[in-house]
Amino acid sequence: MDSDDSTSTVTGQVKWFDPAKGFGFVLRDGGGPDVLLHANVLRNFGQGSVAEGARVEMSVVSTPRGSQADRILSISPPDHVNLVPLADMEDVTAEDIARCPLEPARIKWFDKSKGFGFANVFGQSDDIFVHIEVLRRSGFADLATGEAVSLRVMQGRRGRMAIEVMSWDSGLKA
């Protein structure tokens, strides 16, 4: 990447990100040109996708083609205001979620158009249900088959379900 060596730390909100295209854009706080967010930069942070509306702090470089994210420093999930409530999670508090241990898992499959998929916790054979709204609340837009993640899991009405999804790297640090 050709740059003019001017790197700055920028915060903003994800405008959109398409894992199939391999990029998206972040709206800077306070205005200014959108920042290109490439899938490789996101993968280096440990995620394969990011939800629209998620907050991002990143190192940005100026290139002849515009501003590009060079490194992700942090990602915060979008505000929960516009998220669809889940019946299984109606009475679950942030403290309840935090009390659940992080479990290392791999995505078995996830279909964004259906709005759900399944993961397997390492060393266990049972499936963990993963709902699209849990992904959005966790700051993800999609998951790829085989992607390694960290999950907080609870017993739902029809079996074990993810209540929080974290990148593999974030789960190792927690």
Given 31, 61, 76, which residue is the final one in a domain? 76
Which CATH number fits the domain that encloses residue 53? 2.40.50.140
Q: Residue 31 falls within a domain, yes or no?
A: yes
Q: pLDDT > 70: what percent of the chain?
A: 88
The owner of tokens 């669809």 is 84
Q: Residue 132 falls within a domain, yes or no?
A: yes
Q: Residue 118 falls within a domain, yes or no?
A: yes
- Say yes or no: 64 and 102 in one domain: no
Contacts of 95 (CB under 8 A, 6+ apart): none
Q: What is the pTM of this model?
A: 0.67
Q: Residue 2 falls within a domain, yes or no?
A: no
Given 43, 76, 109, which residue is the final one in a domain? 76
> Whole-number mean pLDDT of the chain?
85
- Say yes or no: 43 and 103 in one domain: no
The owner of tokens 């992904």 is 135
User: Could you tell me the CA-to-CA distances from 54 to 59, 100, 153 in Å, in that order?
Assistant: 16, 23, 22
CA distance 164 to 122: 17
Domain count, the chain: 2
pLDDT in tens, 13-23: 999 998 889 99
Residues 15, 23 contacting (CB under 8 angstroms): no
- Say yes or no: 85 and 70 in one domain: no
pLDDT at 35 over 60: yes
- Say yes or no: 72 and 136 in one domain: no
pLDDT at 1 over 60: no
